[in-house]
Amino acid sequence: MPSLRTACPPGSCICDREQLLSSPDSDMRVLWLTREEEKRLIMRLERVSSLADLRHVQALIYKQLGVEVQVTVGPNEVRTVMGLNIEVIEKPGLCRKVRSSIPAAIRRGLAANEQIVYDLLDEDGLFG
């Protein structure tokens, strides 16, 4: 069995880790994201190379951790990567820090490779 993420300091997080650990039928995969694995994931997200690669990483995150990451075009005009909706769906055991670091890493990766943003905008036929 893989090692589990260490507990956050008391009062600093609302991840419900104890509730997850106490329930025998809960999905524990999210706790497999240790701090070291989180660093590797952040580095991977920062160097996505295409929209297909981003979608592949999203699928892997869901498959391996049970965490859904949504990257969609925002409802308003998109001028920068800040106009995109990047959301990590809340799940028991998912640390507040991780819920904010994943979208930030995706934004950095998209800012470094703007073609992915154009491909994301064109995914629903904006340019064609």
> Could you report the per-residue pLDDT of 27-36, keeping only the tens digit for each?
888 888 888 9
Q: What is the reported pLDDT for 42?
A: 96
CA distance 39 to 35: 6
Amino acid code (one letter) for 33: L
Quote the pTM value: 0.87
Higher pLDDT, 125 or 6: 6
DSSP string, 49-95: -SHHHHHHHHHHHHHHH---EEEEE-SS--SSGGGEEEEEPP-TT--
Confidence band of 49 (pLDDT split at 50, 70, 90):
very high
Is pLDDT above 60 for 5? yes
What residue segments make up the domains of the chain, in order of their start? 17-122
> Could you report the per-residue pLDDT of 65-96, keeping only the tens digit for each?
999 999 988 776 666 677 788 999 988 888 88
